[in-house]
Structure 1
């Protein structure tokens, strides 16, 4: 298998590509490839409790838009797939097509996160106490401008990036570590401030 490390992130600017990515199984496939490394459609189907032709089709669609690619296999027969990046990002915009694609992928992501949370709750009682204490749910109310929220998000991203090397290189994972999904949501509440109340920095 290729030892090349995928680039960290790709920013999607094409609404067609974003809509292609915004599919529950495709997003689960990419998550699987990113978290567990290259694997064949057969291996992915077994891990996701799906069928091989379905996984193979959706992996080819991901490859069509640059999210996945083939890499050499260990035995020269079936070539496994790998994710081309560790993360996918996109910007919202006033373009109707991009806004619709963004809404679509956000909806799929919320469904996936909810299912993961429910899966965790189903086994939480059997978790060791140190993991029950370390994991969990919470929220914080902030009063910030849009610019401050972007800055805060960037700071959180930079903090999490410290652990990127452990994704591609298992040797760098310390003893006792395990995969953890860190879900990030920033959900504005209430009415949008009137134009005169907005900070100048929000117009930069």
Structure 2
């Protein structure tokens, strides 16, 4: 049914599906459907400044691998598309060469998209209200942690962000004054891997 709420997350384990998803326009299309709800290829093309045949093709490819699906529309002329889930995840620790290649590709596409979004924000930041300029922006922190501790930090951040999930699918739950915000998360290890890890030990 069109008013059903999509599942929270889809975990991709097939490298073919992940490679299919690792495309700038396809990821922008899914982001659009998740952020603004079901829409037709024509509506998506207008929002993304692209052409309708191109968006229609990539939406069909997303549907082929389970990332998008058709839903009933107001009439039978053009049925809208919607994202099947609110989030997509995958494992970055696979030993399968095909999966490692696919995750490298999708991570590269994501970094490029995030960079473009950051540049787009900087271009309009001067016109933002002071309260939004103060709340948004960029920052980083240097941590000295183990892999297990880093995983725990990531899980805590995910749990915090999950508190706002219901607002994605239900506009009625969004408080006055709220607006969409892209929260980008990166954890980038620096330097060499500690010797005990390269030797396979646990450091105890």
TM range (shorter): over 0.9
State TM-score, norm by structure 2: 0.96
Deviation at 1:193, TM superposition (A): 0.6
Change (3 A) 1:174 1:95: same
Q: Does 1:69 align with 2:69?
A: yes
Q: Which segments of 5 or more consecutive residues in structure 1 lack a partner in the other structure?
A: none
Match of 2:135 in 1: 134
Change (3 A) 1:201 1:180: farther
Q: Does 1:26 align with 2:26?
A: yes
**Count of residue pairs brought into register by the alignment:** 202
Change (3 A) 1:199 1:8: farther
Deviation at 1:201, TM superposition (A): 8.5
Q: What is the CA deviation profile of residues 59-84 of structure 1, one whole-angstrom value per residue up to 9, with x for unaligned ones?
A: 00000000000000022331100000
1:200 to 187, 199, 202: 202
Distance 2:180 2:74 in 1: 25
Change (3 A) 1:201 1:24: farther
- Structure 1 residue runs of 4+, over 6 Å off? 196-199
Match of 1:89 in 2: 89
Deviation at 1:198, TM superposition (A): 7.8
Match of 1:186 in 2: 187
Match of 1:39 in 2: 39
Deviation at 1:109, TM superposition (A): 0.2
Q: Which segments of 5 or more consecutive residues in structure 2 lack a partner in the other structure?
A: none
Aligned pairs for 1:163-182 (under 5 A) are 163-182=164-183
Distance 1:76 1:162 in 2: 37
Equivalent pair of 1:26/1:59 in contact (CA under 8 Å):
yes
State TM-score, norm by structure 1: 0.96
Equivalent pair of 2:10/2:89 in contact (CA under 8 Å):
yes
